[in-house]
Structure 1
Amino acid sequence: MSWSVDNTADRQVECDSVAKQVRSWNWIVGGQYRLVDMMGKGSFANVYSAVNITDEADLVAVKISHEGCEDTLVAEAKVYEKLFGLKGVPRARIYVKERRCGALVMDLLGPSLGNLKDYCGHFSLKTVFMLADQMISRLASLHSRGYIHGDLKEDNFILGRQETIDERTVYLVDFGLAKTFLLTNGEHIAPKTGLNPCGTLRYTSLNCTLGNEISRRDDLESLGYLLIYLHRGDLPWILAESVVGGDEKRRLMADIKLHTPVKKLCEGLPDEFFAYITYCRSLRFDEQPDYARLRLLCEVAMRRLDYEIDGIFDWTIRLRDDLEWKRLLALEDVF
């Protein structure tokens, strides 16, 4: 992704164009899935909820590319195919091309961590450590298939649908920027410099922000920044996001990341955050991370802080309370 060209306006026009088609044509994707509602907008595609016209209980998510961005969605569909069967990766059902757009149909999931953070506010340490355990596992699985994600952020981690057996399972989605770190002969790719950063600058690793090629270590470092943000709601370089101009923003973020000591970044947090970031930054470009070691940090922190590993997240209780409140209001209406 290039940060030197701002084509947001063009993307918005394409996005609105596709949305108008959906509203006006009663779009049925692949002759089977009727689009119902828009769930989100992206740089290259929009995501819609849809229903199977032959089984109304079968709900799905459909990702539709903007015109001219089909190649990105085709590549993502191929990654989903490679990841088939992994826990915490949604099933991609079909990919079709119609109306000058590509459409990828996937199982419908629940709210994203971004949605849940908006709902709950900053996550407690207990919730962050329980999430981290699953998120590290997802990256370990992804890397085991030879891919790195390249765009970790709160909107790309999604919970299973509410009131299902998967409602506490964290899913990793959006592989539009994913790429393999292995050559056809099985060897690791070589490091490169002078590249444009990929992904979301807020969470990109230090090496990525400096324009270096990313590998498995960078996914894990990005996850560390995301975990800090989910708890604190802040990172030292967030103010740089207000800077106008992609290149200047990148340079400023790189400078702040480079000159923020890990100890300062993790000040006031449990020691495990410092250990996590320090370990990720110590990895060689082609080194295989010790995922078990990082998951153990989460377990040790949970036990040291006397948190029960019970799968009860911040939103679990609040959602339950909200549903109970709505039930009581409904009873008042009846009586």
Structure 2
Amino acid sequence: MGGTHKPNILVFSPIQTEVDAYADRIRNSGFISVKTAKTLEEAEKYLPGTEVILGWNFPTQLLCKPIASSVRWFQSMGAGVNDLIADQSIPQNITLTRIMDQFGAYISEYVFLFLLDIVKDGPRMKQSQLERRWDPFISETLKGKTIGIAGLGSIGAELVRKARAFDMYVHGLSFSGKQATLVDLHFTPDQWGEFVKDLDYLVLTLPLTNSTYHIINQDLLLAMKPNAYLINVGRGALIDEGDLLSVMREGHLQGAVLDVFETEPLPKEHAFWSMPNVFVTSHLSGPSTINEVSNFFIENLKRFSSEQPLSGMVDRNRGY
């Protein structure tokens, strides 16, 4: 092909404005064979001859049908691909890639928004203003506190960098240990109990795999300090939510910041909504922006066209 092959591309998202914006960006970069789909029927219509899919909530059951026999590569618009890996209908010969290195700034700012609000007692200040009450008090500081970051990929690494700026002690847990030198103390997955016991804040940025499903359970939560905080910006099912509820109702753990849940949207009747020491947000800490996802995909398209290795390759056996 010699670097000249321009593949047929299908952009899929249930959101019309999104698919159009992606298609425009891709065409403007010189890849002109782009179709868009937002429903299963449209996907069926445009799949024949498609080699590359950029997708979000794609009807993957189509990928094992003859109409999809030309598909060679599927680029997810997000970072988490546990649903795609678990999906047995995606043929092994289709390369899966996920977005990488895009969420560090967003997610680390989200985490530190809450850490600072907690340590400086933002709610008390807001309440004083509402009551027109002059209320000087001495707050705590993040300096000297210990933060534990589970998962030291691009998001975890950016959290470490920000924690350093606040003079925190930083512990880390990771599977590969490649980034062990970033942190003051590094732990491996067989050392969870050791990892959590001294932390003031535990932040989860792990992918969801068979080995991380419900990794945070009653035993681990009770191994944490009673005044510690748990922050989850990874995947909801990293935490056994029933265990977290009962442990927090017993008064062990000072609070939790949860951006992801096993069922999303979080059901209206769920106890988390009304617990005073649980902060619930709507899976918004690491947004996939059209701008950044497009840039990542277009760079990968250039690699694909010139037969270079793609960025963000997913290892189905490893789970991310």
Larger Rg computed on CA atoms: 2
The structure with the largest helix share of the pair is 1
Per the TM superposition, whether the score is higher than 0.5 is no
- Normalising by the smaller structure, the TM-score range is under 0.3
What is the TM-score with the length of structure 2 in the denominator?
0.25
